[in-house]
């Protein structure tokens, strides 16, 4: 099949009907997998959805099965789907690897700032078998998967009545009584061979049921029960519970040493060491004491962001990336790295006019008049975009394309105006004035011109021209003068010669040429030569270089006390490193992204390997021993926790429109475990971002923080919110510039007919999600940009600030 059109398909009322049918079938338990329609649905109803976001090592979601026949492919790499940093990805179907179907050619490139907002659709027809998909962007090689297509069965499948299989595993450091020291980690696993697992949930010690996404770490000392359950797509549920006891571990000496953190910038560089197209910043942090807690970065003064994957910067210009790492004890180390990104192969616009000149030649008398005729030769060059047209005008006449020297034989004074225009539209001009006097009638010109051809270019040992050959023609005539020069390549039509002829097609070539003088005499010739293709570089057969370094606190026997950190490094000078992996103590191979911390006491061997883009692999192993560290005294000191209320206040100190409550907690011993809040006596909620309260009235926000050892500190803050009584259209936010989430965009906060820009953006409003807020900003500002109230550059600056903000994330 040919390349598919993935222009978004408009939604219609029938889309809703089809969705309802799919939901009804799903309730009957007939469908297995994610983002799929039932096998019994009509072919047009089959919708397969992939989502991508910030990570470069996986798709956020993807289907696992489908039904043969027509299908709608949706590739969602939008802000709403989870892409908050503008990371580009592709959804590309493999059409070459053996063992997969190759009948669908699909290559969708998407990022949140493209014309579709990162959400694309395409129509395909699937056949039974397996399809493989991947991302083609360099460095995204781990984004790969496959899905199976079954035959189109028009009958309804049997309903799924079998519950999933669900298990729980408890791990951690245990004492002689099988108690878990410091913390226990509960890992849940669920499978379903029928309709597929839909949800996995857990409840800790009788608390609310919570969606299970990652292993649950329980650090509060005491007896605990984790109840768990799994539900499949058909609604069948299986449950269970697991009991265990956690005891406090001794509190170690306080960690007062900051982590070690560094940044490495990689990418293709030009002669000025600027990064061409994009630069990738990789951060690495280690801490031999309490361990690394967070690694963050801030690009060009923006918000601090949690570092999870290398940061790709593609915006041209100079950039500074600040970074910091904080260990569990709260010690912080920071740094910054500055680099420049330039656009790929985008030349500066050509604003320089060509160079153009005219030369008058011919026989002259003692008064410098030209006897019989004068020949005006115009020459033009342009080092940037190249010469497009050369023209002349004789004695104020029409402008005429210049193809050959202009011969003027009419006696009298003459002026030739000339001009040259390059491809970019820049023009240069000039004039030349001269006099022609009649000559005695000479003998007729019966002598042909002299014409020659010169071939230049890089040659190999067989005198073949490598890559291309350039043929330059030269013609002179001492009598009537050269009228025109022509050439014919490999038997083709004769063409006027203006500039050297470049021949790059590999093979033997013959260029015929001829020159004609004003009297009609012609001279010709030929030149033959061979062009060969440039050598293809030898394939990369050299494996990468890969090494491992083990760091940590060691005792007198070189054992690592408490934990050892293994850092891997790989380089490849040819095709580049594709993947780096490790296996600890014979376990599964795992993609290496950050240093590996090993804290289990005993002897360990870590095997590692690196594979380059060409498929060459290098490997190695490193062995070491970890011993337990002395048990510290228990942590009995509660954390420090505080609350700050901000917002616009009136003369009674009430908050106008909304109030924002920001919580802060620190713990110098075991470290902060949880921070929670309760608004006006409501349920306790995990604190992740500042709490925005916009309901008018008096409010009390209770808050508490617990450390890893289970100590808790709490407090309350009371405040009043009143309605914003600004008149519609009145500019209530009078700040000079547009500010979103604390980021000053530098864009003037202009007063429109409906209020100032900050009023229209409404960052303190009730936005369901971060993506909804970003779309809202675009919806209210794009019409203003179209009407000229703000510029497109200002629109882009505000949208980038909205994307980087935390508005809508709570």
The predicted pLDDT at position 727 comes to: 54
If asked whether residues 313 and 396 sit together in one domain, one would say no
Residue pair 443/411 in contact (Cβ under 8 Å)? The answer is no
Q: What is the pLDDT of residues 360-383, one digit of tens each?
A: 999 999 999 999 899 999 999 988
Q: What is the pLDDT of residues 579-607, one digit of tens each?
A: 999 999 999 999 998 899 999 999 999 99
pLDDT at 24 over 70: no
Write down which residue in 247, 278, 308 finishes a domain.
247
Q: What is the pLDDT of residues 223-244, one digit of tens each?
A: 999 999 999 887 889 999 999 9
The predicted pLDDT at position 232 comes to: 86
Strand pairing report for 237-247 and 180-181:
parallel
CATH number for the domain including 294? 2.60.40.10
Q: Is residue 155 part of a domain?
A: no
Write down which residue in 223, 247, 271 finishes a domain.
247
Q: What is the pLDDT of residues 254-308, one digit of tens each?
A: 889 999 999 999 999 999 999 998 999 999 999 988 889 999 999 999 999 999 9
Q: Is residue 21 part of a domain?
A: yes
Q: What is the pLDDT of residues 522-549, one digit of tens each?
A: 999 999 999 998 877 678 899 999 999 9
In the chain, the number of structural domains is 8
How big is the chain by its Cα radius of gyration, in Å? 37
Residue 44 DSSP label = G
Residue pair 709/725 in contact (Cβ under 8 Å)? The answer is no
If asked whether residues 463 and 423 sit together in one domain, one would say no
Domain that holds residue 211: 165-247
The predicted pLDDT at position 29 comes to: 35
CATH number for the domain including 37? 2.60.40.420
In the three-class reduction of DSSP (H, G, I as helix; E, B as strand; rest coil), residue 277 is classed as coil
Write down which residue in 315, 342, 369 finishes a domain.
342
Q: What is the pLDDT of residues 748-772, one digit of tens each?
A: 988 887 788 988 888 888 887 776 7
Round to whole Å and give the CA distance between 137 and 144.
12
Least confident of 34-43, 152-161, 213-222: 34-43
Q: What is the pLDDT of residues 406-450, one digit of tens each?
A: 999 899 999 999 999 998 899 999 999 999 998 766 678 899 999
Least confident of 528-532, 686-690, 713-717: 686-690
Beta strands in 478-601 (DSSP E): 482-489, 495-496, 501-503, 507-517, 522-532, 545-551, 560-561, 564-571, 577-584, 590-591, 596-598
If asked whether residues 504 and 585 sit together in one domain, one would say no
Please state the pTM of the whole predicted model. Answer: 0.23
């Amino acid at each position: 099949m040919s390349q598919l059109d993935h222009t978004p398909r408009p939604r219609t009322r029938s889309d809703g009907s089809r969705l309802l049918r799919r939901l009804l079938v799903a309730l009957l338990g007939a469908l297995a997998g994610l983002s799929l329609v039932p096998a019994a649905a009509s072919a047009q109803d089959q919708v397969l959805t992939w989502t991508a976001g910030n990570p470069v090592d996986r798709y956020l979601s993807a289907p696992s099965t489908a039904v043969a026949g027509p299908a709608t492919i949706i590739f969602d790499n939008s802000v709403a789907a989870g892409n908050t940093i503008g990371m580009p990805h592709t959804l590309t179907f493999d059409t070459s690897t053996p063992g997969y179907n190759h009948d669908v050619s699909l290559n969708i490139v998407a990022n949140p700032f493209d014309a579709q907002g990162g959400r694309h659709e395409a129509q395909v027809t699937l056949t039974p078998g397996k399809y493989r998909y991947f991302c083609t962007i360099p460095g995204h090689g781990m984004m790969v998967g496959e899905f199976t297509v079954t035959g189109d069965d028009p009958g309804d499948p049997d309903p799924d009545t079998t519950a999933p299989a669900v298990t729980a595993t408890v791990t951690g450091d245990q004492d002689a009584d099988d108690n878990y020291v410091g913390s226990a980690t509960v890992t849940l696993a669920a499978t379903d061979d029928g309709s597929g697992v839909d949800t996995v949930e857990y409840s800790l010690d009788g608390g609310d049921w919570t969606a299970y996404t990652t292993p649950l770490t329980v650090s509060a000392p005491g007896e605990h029960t984790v109840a768990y359950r799994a539900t499949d797509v058909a609604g069948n549920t299986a449950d269970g519970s697991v009991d265990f006891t956690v005891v406090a571990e001794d509190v170690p000496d306080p960690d007062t040493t900051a982590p070690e953190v560094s940044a490495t910038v990689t990418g293709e560089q030009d002669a000025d060491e600027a990064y061409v197209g994009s630069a990738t910043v990789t951060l690495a942090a280690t801490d031999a004491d309490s361990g690394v807690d967070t690694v963050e970065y801030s690009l060009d003064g923006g918000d601090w962001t949690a570092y999870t994957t290398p940061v790709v910067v593609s915006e041209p210009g100079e950039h500074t990336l600040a970074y910091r790492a904080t260990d569990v004890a709260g010690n912080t180390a920071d740094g910054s790295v500055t680099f420049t990104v330039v656009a790929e192969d985008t030349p500066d616009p050509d604003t320089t006019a060509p160079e153009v000149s005219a030369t008058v030649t011919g026989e002259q008398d003692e008064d410098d008049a030209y006897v019989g005729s004068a020949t005006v030769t115009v020459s033009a060059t342009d080092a940037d975009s190249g010469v497009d047209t050369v023209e002349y005008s004789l004695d104020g006449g029409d402008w005429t394309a210049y193809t050959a020297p202009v011969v003027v034989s009419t006696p009298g004074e003459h002026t030739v105006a000339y001009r040259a225009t390059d491809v970019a539209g820049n023009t240069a001009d000039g004039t030349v004035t001269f006099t022609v006097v009649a000559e005695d009638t000479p003998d007729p010109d019966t002598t042909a011109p002299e014409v020659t051809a010169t071939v230049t270019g890089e040659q190999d040992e067989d005198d073949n021209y490598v890559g291309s050959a350039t043929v330059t023609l030269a013609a002179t005539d001492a009598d009537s003068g050269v009228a025109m020069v022509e050439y014919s390549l490999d038997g083709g039509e004769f063409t006027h010669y203006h500039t050297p002829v470049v021949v790059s097609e590999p093979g033997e070539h013959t260029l015929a040429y001829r020159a004609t003088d004003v009297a009609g005499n012609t001279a010709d010739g030929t030149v033959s030569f061979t062009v060969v293709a440039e050598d293809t570089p030898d394939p990369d057969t050299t494996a990468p270089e890969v090494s491992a370094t083990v760091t940590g606190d060691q005792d007198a026997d070189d054992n690592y006390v408490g934990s050892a950190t293994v850092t891997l490094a790989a380089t490849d000078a040819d095709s580049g490193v594709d993947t780096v992996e490790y296996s600890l103590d014979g376990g599964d191979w795992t993609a290496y992204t950050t240093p590996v911390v090993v804290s289990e006491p005993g002897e360990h061997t870590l095997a590692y390997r690196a594979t380059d883009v060409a498929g060459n692999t290098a490997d190695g192993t490193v062995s070491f021993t970890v011993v337990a560290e002395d048990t510290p005294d228990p942590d009995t000191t509660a954390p420090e926790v505080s609350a700050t209320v901000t917002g616009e206040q009136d003369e009674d100190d009430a908050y106008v429109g909304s109030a924002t409550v920001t919580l802060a907690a620190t713990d110098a011993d075991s470290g902060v475990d949880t921070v929670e809040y309760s608004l006006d006596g409501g349920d306790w909620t995990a604190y992740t971002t500042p709490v925005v309260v916009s309901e008018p009235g008096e409010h009390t926000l209770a808050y508490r923080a617990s450390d890893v050892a289970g100590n808790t500190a709490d407090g309350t803050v009371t405040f009043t919110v009143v309605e914003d009584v600004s008149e519609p259209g009145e500019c209530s936010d009078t700040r000079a510039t547009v500010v979103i989430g604390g980021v000053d965009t530098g864009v003037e906060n202009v007063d429109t007919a409906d209020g100032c820009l900050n009023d229209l953006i409404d960052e303190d409003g009730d936005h369901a999600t971060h993506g909804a807020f970003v779309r809202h900003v675009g919806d209210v500002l794009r019409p203003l940009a179209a009407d000229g109230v703000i510029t497109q550059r200002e629109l882009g600056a505000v949208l980038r600030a909205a994307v980087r903000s935390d508005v809508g994330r709570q």
